[in-house]
A and B are shown apart, each in its own frame.
Chain A
Amino acid sequence: MTVQATDEDIRERASIDRSMRFPVLFFFTSAAAWLFVATILGFFSALKLRVPGLWEECQFLGYGRVFPMHMIALVYGWALQAGIGVMLWLMARLTRRELKYGMGVVVIGHVWNALVAVAVICIWSGFGRSIPLLDFPGWMAPLFAMVYMAMVVWVIPMFKTRREASIYISEYYLVGAALWFPWVFITAGILISKEAAPTMAAGAGSWFVSNLIYFWMAPIALAVAYYIVPKIADRPIYSYGWAKMGFWILALFAGWTGFQRYYGGPYPAWIPAVSGAAVVFVLLAVVATISNLAMTLRGKTKLWEISPSLRFTAMGMFFFAVYACLSAVSIIPMVQPALQFSFFLSGLDVLAIYGFFSMTVFGAMYFIVPRITGCEWPSAASIRNHFWYSTYGIITLIVCLLIAGLAQGGNLSRPNIPFSTSFMNSTCWVVGACIAWLLIAVSNLWFFYQLALMFVGKGRKSEGPTLIHGGHDNAEGAAGTA
């Protein structure tokens, strides 16, 4: 990583970046647009929780419809598209292969966006299925699977015909994500549509959500972190052994998670127990990975002040550690009964999707977009605003949902307290969630505006990258050409 780049290398990278330009920018901008839609829907669903009677004559604004629309827009509109964009670019860079048929990928990307829009409209107009993150009507699932594979399949030939002799750890994660996700998605889709075993179908739905986080979001975010951190710190990762160990621990155990959400549910008792144990083992992978990244950055924390990519990625990794720890805490038998169906667990979902995955992917975007467009981010102030509004927003959201969960769970676990008290005592915290979603919406409006400027080529034309503080010619400038 630290080897000085030759002129030929730079030319080669430029041609790879050119081949990626339209597909990756397309995925990023449409993802950012969906993210904005999702945050607005998130605000409305939180508002509906606080004031259930609001607009109750209108069937299209019920919480039971707005909340799944929000989740679908957030995951399928934003997370999957942004992740695929990052995956394609990183894989091309690491394997030194150009993306063939780039325009074909753009066409398929349009189909994907249309599918997400149809899914959201279906839920809105009353064809939802009440299955978290699989709410769209059953006939859409095979379409989603096919379009996803058509977008991601290019990663495999790139990797197979790679020109570097050694495999970098990010590539393990990317190949893993590309391979595992369709398998999880198709399995859950088929088992649910067969309608042969109702409780295992529900379990497969929960297993899908957990694997979406651990087998798709986590690998992509970690691939980004293993790429960005050494690049910006300008030194190799601290221990390659740890990195590989973290990868294989995640690969071995993440697939067993999912059923801990239905602890005590209608399953053989060993199933949720095994899932709970797997969550704890996954924590090991997280510890190995995060400490490895932290050691890579040791003594260079000043870079946080300068590089937007590093700042977002580091914050994402911090949220990953918090997520993994809280997930492990939430399955301790002492607290699990209270937290199981509370805001605590839905707060954890948001922490994974927005706090950990999205922040890391923002970091990647701040790195990638200047390279493929050939111009720099228009304004450092906007990057700062995006960062702080997002960070404060997500922290407010998580803290409020976690406290709401504790209040709700505490009341639920005392049967002498009337049931509705648990609702009253928890939804006062939802006010905080409303405000947080607004903060996040504002921050993403900034981001989308900047990204749109870059998309139409109105970015800053300059030699050096846009840095958070200070001039344009220090650390990332050196790392930036690489």
Chain B
Amino acid sequence: MSTHHFWKLIGGLAICFALPWTFLIMGPYFSEASTKPVPYSEKDEVEGLAAYPERSTLRYGSSDYGAKIYAAEGCAYCHTQMVRPTYAGPDMWRDGWGGRDAEGLSRETRPEDYFGESFAYLGYQRLGQDLSNVGHRITTREAMHRHLYDPKSFDGDSGMPKYLHLYEKDKVTGEYVPTAKAEALVDYLMSRKKDAKIPEADKRNG
């Protein structure tokens, strides 16, 4: 075969692939990477927050290390962190999945909600509850720890195993004492609050 045909085939294959690579992957990637927070105005009636998304509400304590524990234990294989809008699934009808229902702040997740995280653990299967807003559902650290070392004490049908290796048993009292890993994981889980109010000024809100 002549070199001419060789390059024609390679070129054809490259063009076929370059189209989705450019428009499906790289374009949206850079557009998301350049997202800037939108400040709240007075009309939004949001107290204590300056802008959406606000970095300080999404990460605190050792939650970055907790994200690594979350990944290493493979939590994302059973838990999703993605609430779908009503046209794509009934997620919003599950209690507390979409956020603080009582305050009217329940909504689907948006790209901005993952701002500042190193990776959005959207999930693989839903064998366990969605965790997008678990920080609003389980409000104390004690309860969160108990969910990790004895999940069946909340729901006997739960399919979650005990994560005992994140805890040390105290020889005197017999109680479970969290390790640094467990504390970090709880920090991460407590920071899962993806229901911040969307500012009126956010163009994408329309």
- Tell me if chain B binds chain A: yes
Over the window 126-152 of chain B, the binary record of Cβ atoms lying under 8 Å from chain A Cβ atoms (1 yes, 0 no) is 111100000000000000000000000
Could you pull out 21 A-B pairs where Cβ atoms are within 8 angstroms?
Answer: A52-B161, A53-B161, A59-B165, A62-B161, A63-B74, A64-B74, A65-B73, A65-B74, A128-B71, A175-B9, A197-B33, A198-B117, A199-B114, A203-B25, A255-B24, A264-B89, A271-B28, A341-B126, A413-B90, A415-B93, A423-B159
Query: Size band of the B side of the interface?
Result: 35 or more
Question: Is A371 located at the chain interface by the 8 A CB criterion?
Answer: no
Cβ contact within 8 Å between B76 and A130: yes
A132 close to chain B: CB less than 8 A: yes
* Contacting residues of chain B (22-38) with chain A, CB-CB under 8 angstroms: 24-26, 28-30, 32-33, 35
Pick out which of these stretches binds chain B: A15-23, A75-83, A179-187. Answer: A179-187
Binds A, one of B39-47, B105-113, B195-203: B105-113
Contacts of B9 in A (CB 8 A): 167, 172, 175
Of A162, A202, A415, the residue contacting B90 (CB under 8 A) is: A415
**0/1 per residue, B157-190, Cβ < 8 Å to A?**
1111111110000000000000000000000000
Whether A427 is near chain B, meaning CB under 8 Å from some CB there, is yes
In the assembly, what is the distance between CA of A395 and CA of B80, in Å? 28
Q: How far is the CA of A101 from the CA of B14 in the complex (A)?
A: 28
Could you say which residues of chain A place their CB within 8 Å of the CB of B12?
248, 251
* CB-contacts of B54-90 with A (<8 A): 70-78, 80, 82, 84-85, 87-90
A contact patch SS: helix
Task: Determine whether A129 belongs to the interface, using a CB cutoff of 8 Å to chain B.
Answer: yes
Q: Would you call B75 and A420 a contact (CB within 8 A)?
A: no
**Residues 136-187 of A contacting B (Cβ, < 8 Å):** 159-160, 162, 164-165, 167, 172, 175-176, 179-180, 183, 187
In the assembled complex, how far is the CB of residue A389 from the closest CB belonging to chain B, in whole angstroms?
27
A 220-266 contacts with B by CB, 8 A: 248, 251-252, 255-256, 258-259, 262-266
Which residues on the A side are within 8 Å of B29 (C-beta)? 191, 196-197, 200-201, 204
Contact A255 B74 (CB under 8 A): no
A216 vs B23: C-alpha distance when bound (angstroms):
21
B88 touches A197 (CB 8 A): no
The answer on a CB contact under 8 Å between B87 and A264 is yes
> Is A343 part of the contact surface with B, judged by Cβ < 8 Å?
yes
Within 8 Å of chain A (Cβ to Cβ): is B102?
Answer: no
Measured between C-beta atoms, what is the minimum distance from A259 to chain B in Å? 7
| C-alpha gap A200/B115 in the complex (Å) | 11
Query: Using Cβ atoms and an 8 Å threshold, which residues of chain B touch A58?
Result: 165
In the complex, which of the residues A65, A68, A162, A176 contacts B1, with contact meaning CB atoms closer than 8 Å? Answer: A162
